[in-house]
């Protein structure tokens, strides 16, 4: 199926010749674009022929209508034209009385059903006829059994459509689209997820890269199932074959047989198909780009040779990641649960174009566009810790509102889009000074990283690879930083862990020397990482480096699907870790980490749970822009409600009191009646509701410490500290005796359980954590029952 230019199978042309799809059954002997063009020319010539000539052509595919139930399914000429037809002979006159070579009935007997058919309908049927003839050729030329079977099925379908004068309708268990979200929507989400914060010029460049990728997918020639079985023996052969068959029927063959309904590959297929082709496609595209770089226009070389590979690397990570949000159907879900109607960022090009196609010239600064976020790179860049691959400056990540449900309420989308345009316009929003009281802690560090002043590297020692001098020097530098900043920690202990192959260190490099780092050990099987040392050299502190280091570490672990940190913090470090989202409320079950992490005397165990949807290195930027959005919306709302209403005249008429909501303009300000919990009047209904809630609470996994009254033998001095004890057993007895006449009595007793627990037990205890989790669950159930406002 390769074209005459010698392009590898499945690899669209990148150079000036442009991209052309391969024709079905082309067999590598003709250019696909030429084959498609010849079919179109033939159809145009046939449709411009005299009506008798059209009837002759359609008669070949029309069953005989003569009396006597003739079984002939197509008229056959007594004198068939030579093959191939000779151009030096004039075309013969069509005679409707010419008998059929098969059934002896006339041509007119085969086309009586077409006498009153309109010219438009006849031209449509003629188009199907030429598609049938083309597919017949494909069936005989094709060597692959699976592909031949599909061609033959389509051939029979079109043949049947001519006989029945109907429209070809593919009969399948599923109809397009076959997977949601589609490839096009997934790439659209990817651009939103990674690049929506960029200035318009750079964002336009990213969109062009995305369009090029979608264009390649739409005209990519899938390998046959048999070829794929040889290349990937352990793959899901049945799933790939199903997608291959769908692709042939709905995308590939309809490019040339236009009587069949055609769909873009990127619009009807999703993540499954793109996963099956991405690796091979990326490799072949980049290889061709390198081979044909001299043919590329100068203004497109940077785009294709520099930015496109980085774009594909970032996209590859999202394609194969199990936790990527871009493939979620709720990526842009609104508060009501439906999709927010947004303007699509990218739509696949309707026609084939060269890889370097760009509708508008865009100048790109290679230092600011296309650089890959270190924590979002592919494993080949970050994983080999012994060689310490350089982590390039971080690409800013998108607004949080692009992946979390937006609270739209009664704000029209036009207003939201208008405000967003104002926020993303650099001229409309001045940059925050680094010395401003409103600047984020890591803002200075983020700016330095973008300018290349500081770098981040994940490094570690290795026992099975040749030592790298630079890595060893950095490890020595880290050992010095940790020793100076952590004087109470034995130097031998620091050295042993820093050079231990099981430990890694995220190092902060400035002017070629180490100025800080975080040493950690990952426990993938247990689902957490232990942070061992964290320090920045004293003369580089208070610059936001510590925050930026931790943010990079969080993104690195999200990439590796580890979403929990544990660390023992001394009294000097507790404040820092709290600012980074750590708390004494440990989410990891104790059984998961006991015996795995080192216990430090006099230190406090703290934990941090990571959210894979948050781009931590750009989180402060997102918050800043969200504040700007809210500020703009408030300003617009204030401008709308600055209206003076006439005074209330009803009091002159003797009215003593009016409802607040009847005051003109009060609701326009956003005022709403103060919500109060619903007090159930019916005692039986109240009893039933409270019983259900109590049963839910007692069956919760964190309710075990509160099931019965505390025993004096188990907690000496408990009743000297807790004057008013309460437990779930006592509450059950009170509920049974109809003690709870109001919801407030019930809620007060339940709250007393949690308050007593927190008063008696230390925050790091298991009981304290159980009280917090059960309290949260209890109030969720109370809200669901409508006893308090949500």
Question: Higher model confidence: residue 477 or residue 370?
Answer: 477
494 vs 479: CA distance, rounded Å: 6
In the predicted model, is pLDDT for residue 677 greater than 60?
no
| Amino acid 357: pLDDT | 34
Q: What is the pLDDT of residues 180-203, one digit of tens each?
A: 899 999 998 888 888 877 777 788
Q: What is the pLDDT of residues 134-171, one digit of tens each?
A: 888 888 888 888 998 998 988 888 888 877 787 888 77
| Amino acid 8: pLDDT | 31
503 pLDDT band, cuts 50/70/90, is very high
| Amino acid 540: pLDDT | 85
Question: Higher model confidence: residue 552 or residue 653?
Answer: 552
Least confident of 80-89, 448-457, 515-524, 588-597: 80-89
Active site residue 540: no
| Amino acid 376: pLDDT | 33
Mean pLDDT of 312-323: 86
Q: How far is the first Cα of the chain from the last one, in angstroms, to the nearest whole number?
A: 62
Mean pLDDT of 242-270: 89
Measuring CA to CA, which residue among 487, 550, 488 is closest to residue 516? 550
In the predicted model, is pLDDT for residue 476 greater than 90?
yes
In the predicted model, is pLDDT for residue 312 greater than 50?
yes
Mean per-residue pLDDT of the chain = 77
**Per DSSP, what are the bridge partners of residue 327?**
none
520 vs 459: CA distance, rounded Å: 11
pTM, entire model: 0.44
Question: Higher model confidence: residue 558 or residue 654?
Answer: 558
30 DSSP 8-state letter: S
Question: Higher model confidence: residue 1 or residue 633?
Answer: 633
| Amino acid 82: pLDDT | 58
| Cβ atoms of residues 787 and 675 within 8 Å | no
Using CA atoms of 361, 365, 369, 372 in order, give the dihedral in degrees to the nearest 10: 140
Least confident of 17-31, 164-178, 656-670: 17-31
In the predicted model, is pLDDT for residue 542 greater than 60?
yes
How buried is 77 (Cβ within 10 angstroms: 0-12 exposed, 13-18 middle, 19+ buried)?
A: middle
| Cβ atoms of residues 519 and 482 within 8 Å | yes
Least confident of 84-93, 264-273, 508-517, 707-716: 84-93
| Cβ atoms of residues 42 and 241 within 8 Å | no
| Cβ atoms of residues 151 and 143 within 8 Å | no
**Which residues define the annotated binding site for acetyl-CoA?**
534-536, 541-547, 572-575
130 vs 327: CA distance, rounded Å: 40
Torsion sign, CA atoms 483, 485, 488, 489: negative
**Which residues define the annotated binding site?**
534-536, 541-547, 572-575
In the predicted model, is pLDDT for residue 485 greater than 60?
yes
| Amino acid 710: pLDDT | 92
Least confident of 12-21, 396-405, 699-708: 12-21
Q: What is the pLDDT of residues 360-406, one digit of tens each?
A: 332 233 333 333 333 333 333 333 333 333 334 344 443 333 444 44
Is residue 365 classed as helix, strand or coil in its secondary structure?
Answer: coil
Question: Across 235-239, 451-455, 494-498, which has the greatest mean pLDDT?
Answer: 494-498
| Amino acid 314: pLDDT | 87
Q: What is the 3-state secondary structure (H, E, C) of 446-495?
A: HHHHHHCCEEEEEECCCCCCCCCHHHHHHHHHHHHHHHHHCCCCCHHHHH
Measuring CA to CA, which residue among 226, 264, 320, 297 is closest to residue 559? 320
In the predicted model, is pLDDT for residue 716 greater than 60?
yes
Q: What percent of the chain has pLDDT over 70?
A: 77
The catalytically annotated residue of 448, 449, 530, 618 is: 530
| Amino acid 364: pLDDT | 30
Question: Across 311-315, 369-373, 771-775, which has the greatest mean pLDDT?
Answer: 771-775
| Amino acid 648: pLDDT | 82
| Cβ atoms of residues 385 and 458 within 8 Å | yes
**Per DSSP, what are the bridge partners of residue 608?**
565
375 vs 372: CA distance, rounded Å: 9
| Amino acid 80: pLDDT | 67
Give CB contacts under 8 A, 24+ apart, made by 594-598. Answer: 596/523, 596/526, 596/530, 597/530, 597/566, 597/568, 598/530, 598/532, 598/568
């Amino acid at each position: 199926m390769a074209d005459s230019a010698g392009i590898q199978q499945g690899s669209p042309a990148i150079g000036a010749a442009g991209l052309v799809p391969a024709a079905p059954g082309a067999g590598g002997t003709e250019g696909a674009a030429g084959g498609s063009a010849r079919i179109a020319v033939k159809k145009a010539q046939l449709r411009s022929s005299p009506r008798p000539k059209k009837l002759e052509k359609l008669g070949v595919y029309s069953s005989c209508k003569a009396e006597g139930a003739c079984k002939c399914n197509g008229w056959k000429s007594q004198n068939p034209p030579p093959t191939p037809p000779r151009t030096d002979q004039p075309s013969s006159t069509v005679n409707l009385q010419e008998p059929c070579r098969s059934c002896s009935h006339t041509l007119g007997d085969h086309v009586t059903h077409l006498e009153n058919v309109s010219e438009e309908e006849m031209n449509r049927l003629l188009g199907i006829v030429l598609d049938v003839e083309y597919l017949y050729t494909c069936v005989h030329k094709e060597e692959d059994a699976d592909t031949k079977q599909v061609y033959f099925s389509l051939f029979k379908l079109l043949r049947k459509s001519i006989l029945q004068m109907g429209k070809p309708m593919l009969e399948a268990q599923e109809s397009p689209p076959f997977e949601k979200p589609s490839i096009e929507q997934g790439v659209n989400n990817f651009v939103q997820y990674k690049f929506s914060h960029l200035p318009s010029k750079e964002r336009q460049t990213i969109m062009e890269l995305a369009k090029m990728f979608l264009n390649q997918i739409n005209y990519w020639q899938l390998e046959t199932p048999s070829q794929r079985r040889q290349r990937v023996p352990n793959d899901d052969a049945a799933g790939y074959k199903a997608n291959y068959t769908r692709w042939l029927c709905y995308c590939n063959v309809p490019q040339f047989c236009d009587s069949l309904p055609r769909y873009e590959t990127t619009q009807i297929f999703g993540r499954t198909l793109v996963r099956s082709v991405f690796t091979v496609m990326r490799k072949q595209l980049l290889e061709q780009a390198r081979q044909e770089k001299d043919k590329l226009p100068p203004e497109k070389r940077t785009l294709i040779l520099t930015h496109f590979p980085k774009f594909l690397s970032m996209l590859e990570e999202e394609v194969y990641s199990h936790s990527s949000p871009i493939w979620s159907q709720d990526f842009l879900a609104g508060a009501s649960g439906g999709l927010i109607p947004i303007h699509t960022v990218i739509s696949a090009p309707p026609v084939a174009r060269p890889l370097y196609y760009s509708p508008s010239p865009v100048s790109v600064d290679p230092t600011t566009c296309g650089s890959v976020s270190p924590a979002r790179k592919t494993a080949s860049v970050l994983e080999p810790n012994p060689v310490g691959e350089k982590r390039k400056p971080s690409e800013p990540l998108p607004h949080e509102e692009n992946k979390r449900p937006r609270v739209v309420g009664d704000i029209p989308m036009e207003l939201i889009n208008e405000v967003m345009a104002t926020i993303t316009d650099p001229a409309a929003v001045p940059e925050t000074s680094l010395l401003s009281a409103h600047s984020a802690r890591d803002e200075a560090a983020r700016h330095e990283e973008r300018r290349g002043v500081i770098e981040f590297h994940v490094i570690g020692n290795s026992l099975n690879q040749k030592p790298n001098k630079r890595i060893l020097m950095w490890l020595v530098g880290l050992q010095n930083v940790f020793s100076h900043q952590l004087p109470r920690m034995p130097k031998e202990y620091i050295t042993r862990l820093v050079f231990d192959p099981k430990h890694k260190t995220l190092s902060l490099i400035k002017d070629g020397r180490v100025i800080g780092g975080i040493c950690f050990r990952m426990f993938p099987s247990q689902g957490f990482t232990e942070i061992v040392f964290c320090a920045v050299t004293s003369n580089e502190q208070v610059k936001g480096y510590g925050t930026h280091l931790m943010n990079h570490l969080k993104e690195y672990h999200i990439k590796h699907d580890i979403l929990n940190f544990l660390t023992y913090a001394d009294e000097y470090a507790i404040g820092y870790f709290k600012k980074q989202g750590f708390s004494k409320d440990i989410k990891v079950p104790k059984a998961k980490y006991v015996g795995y992490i080192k216990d430090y005397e006099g230190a406090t165990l703290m934990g941090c749970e990571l959210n894979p949807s948050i781009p931590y290195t750009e989180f402060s930027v997102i918050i800043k822009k969200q504040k700007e959005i809210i500020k703009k919306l408030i300003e617009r709302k204030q401008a709308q409600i600055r209206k003076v209403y006439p005074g209330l005249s009803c009091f002159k008429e003797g009215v003593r009191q009016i409802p607040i909501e009847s005051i003109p303009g009060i609701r326009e300000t956003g005022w709403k009646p103060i919500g109060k919990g619903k007090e159930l009047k019916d005692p039986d209904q109240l009893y039933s509701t409270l019983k259900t809630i109590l049963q839910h609470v007692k069956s919760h996994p964190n309710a075990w410490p509160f099931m019965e009254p505390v025993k004096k033998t188990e907690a000496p001095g408990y009743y000297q500290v807790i004057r008013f004890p309460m437990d779930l057993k006592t509450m059950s007895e009170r509920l049974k005796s109809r003690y709870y006449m109001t919801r407030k009595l019930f809620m007060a007793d339940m709250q007393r359980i949690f308050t007593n627990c927190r008063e008696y037990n230390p925050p790091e205890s298991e009981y304290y954590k159980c009280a917090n989790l059960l309290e949260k669950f209890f109030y969720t159930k109370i809200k669901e029952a409508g006893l308090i406002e949500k």
